[in-house]
């Protein structure tokens, strides 16, 4: 299949591009590099050993998107493009709604005009809200979101479901990711956050290479096994494989489906720290800090629908996630800008 990846230069998009190419598909990228770098695409080309067509454009730019669709006959689109920092979305809600919603609406209109009716969308477990029970299942009604970023995911799910309901030729797969971490085993591509990371694993990685002093563990008084927050961490390469299978599913079905991509296993903050220390033979200093506003005690996925519909399940474990993250971080201590990689 020939597949367009919006936001394909980003963390998850670049890994998905590799998996698609290695599965024999043709991937085309469109990205405006608002949170990524063309270097990521060059690294992808190095891994797959052939060029990847990549356009620098904003998905909100209908003229540019029409030109791309005129040049290619796509079988499906994977829509990664979006702004994703929760705290930033609280400070800049209009920017988040404008970027994430406009890009989706423009993309859908251009797809419709070109008769491309299969889309796989990067949604998030954040859409569930703070559920009273775990694991999270796709049939649980959303309890609302706690920030504008989350609401953009919620609204985009509704936009895509509405289109699938209105036109029976559409196929929509809404992938709700849990907590993607890790990096490609080559050490060539990985997560390259700008500034001080907000998320746990990128923060640990920067402490590991001495760029940050210590980790603040946000709360050790949650009702969990060791008092620290529990999440479903998923290796980005497993997540990427899920997209390849979702494209195959979209080619054979119409309508819309919500599918969790998680391992089904929850790990605590301290599980991550201790595993990272052990497999990488490093020491991550940490201090217990107050809870972070908006955090919940525990979430993890019920991943059985992904197995039933896609034949997908996570294969990599927490040790792989910690090892691959550290490998990328040590080879690229300043991310894509500071090093030529390996």
- Which residues are marked as active site? 149
Considering only residues 62 through 121, tell me which ones interact with ligand NAD, judged by CB under 6 A.
Answer: 80-84, 99, 103
> Per rule CB under 6 A, is residue 36 in the interface with ligand UD1?
no
Contact pick of 4, 36, 111, 306 for ligand NAD (by CB under 6 A):
36
Distance CA 42, CA 60 (A): 24
> Per rule CB under 6 A, is residue 199 in the interface with ligand UD1?
yes
Between residues 41 and 273, which has the closer beta carbon with respect to ligand NAD? 41
> Please, which residues bridge with residue 235 across strands?
181
Distance CA 91, CA 96 (A): 10
The three-state secondary structure class of 186 is coil
Contact pick of 74, 177, 267, 326 for ligand NAD (by CB under 6 A):
177
Tell me the site size for ligand UD1, rule CB under 6 A: 19
Q: Any alpha helices (H) in 119-220, and if so which ranges?
A: 148-166, 200-208
| Beta-carbon-side half-sphere exposure of residue 208 (alpha carbons within 13 Å) | 30
Give phi and psi for 41, each to the nearest 5: -70, -40
The site partner of 9 among ligand NAD, ligand UD1, none (C-beta below 5 to 8 Å per kind) is ligand NAD
Tell me the site size for ligand NAD, rule CB under 6 A: 26
Between residues 84 and 235, which has the closer beta carbon with respect to ligand NAD? 84
* The pairing of beta strand 230-231 with beta strand 267-268: antiparallel
Q: Is 93 exposed, middle or buried (0-12, 13-18, 19+ CB in 10 A)?
A: middle
Each residue 277-306 as x (binds ligand UD1 by CB under 6 A) or -, in order, gives ---------------x-xx-----------
Each residue 228-257 as x (binds ligand UD1 by CB under 6 A) or -, in order, gives -x-x--------------------------
> Per rule CB under 6 A, is residue 246 in the interface with ligand NAD?
no
> Per rule CB under 6 A, is residue 269 in the interface with ligand UD1?
yes
For 198, left (φ over 0), alpha (ψ -120 to 50), or beta?
Answer: alpha
Least distance CB 129 / ligand NAD (angstroms): 14
CB 248 within 8 A of CB 75: no
Using alpha carbons, select from 93, 94, 91, 79 the residue that is nearest to residue 157. 79
Q: Which residues are near ligand NAD by CB under 6 A? A: 7, 9-13, 31-36, 58-60, 80-84, 99, 103, 122, 124, 177, 180
């Amino acid at each position: 299949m020939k597949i367009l990846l919006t936001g394909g230069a980003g963390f998850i998009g670049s890994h998905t591009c590799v998996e698609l190419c290695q599965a024999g598909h043709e991937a085309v990228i469109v990205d405006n590099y608002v949170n990524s770098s063309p270097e990521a695409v060059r690294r992808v080309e190095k891994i797959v050993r052939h060029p990847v067509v990549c356009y620098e454009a904003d998905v909100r730019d209908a003229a540019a998107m029409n030109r791309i669709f005129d040049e290619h006959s796509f079988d499906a689109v994977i829509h990664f493009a979006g702004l994703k920092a929760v705290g930033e979305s609280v400070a800049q809600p209009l920017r988040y709604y404008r970027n994430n919603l406009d890009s989706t609406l423009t993309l859908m209109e251009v797809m419709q005009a070109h008769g491309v009716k299969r889309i796989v969308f990067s949604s998030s477990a954040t859409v569930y809200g703070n559920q009273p029970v775990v694991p999270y299942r796709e049939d649980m009604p959303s309890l609302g979101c706690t920030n504008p970023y989350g609401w953009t995911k919620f609204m985009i799910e509704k936009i895509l479901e509405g289109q699938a309901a209105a036109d029976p030729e559409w196929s929509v797969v809404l992938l709700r990711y849990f907590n993607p971490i890790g990096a490609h085993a080559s050490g060539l591509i990985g997560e390259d956050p700008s500034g001080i990371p907000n998320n746990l694993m990128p923060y640990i990685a920067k402490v590991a290479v001495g760029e940050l002093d210590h980790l603040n563990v946000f709360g050790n008084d949650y009702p969990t096994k060791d008092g620290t927050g529990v999440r479903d961490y998923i290796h980005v390469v497993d997540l990427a494989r899920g997209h390849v299978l979702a494209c195959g599913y979209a080619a054979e079905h119409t309508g819309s489906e919500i599918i969790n991509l998680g391992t089904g296993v929850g790990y605590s903050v301290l599980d991550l720290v201790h595993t990272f220390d052990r497999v990488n033979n490093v020491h991550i200093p940490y201090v217990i800090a107050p809870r972070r506003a908006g955090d919940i005690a525990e979430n993890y996925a019920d991943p059985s629908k992904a197995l039933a519909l896609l034949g997908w399940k996570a294969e990599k474990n927490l040790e792989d996630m910690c090892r691959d993250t550290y490998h990328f971080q040590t080879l690229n201590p300043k991310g894509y800008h500071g090093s030529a990689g390996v």
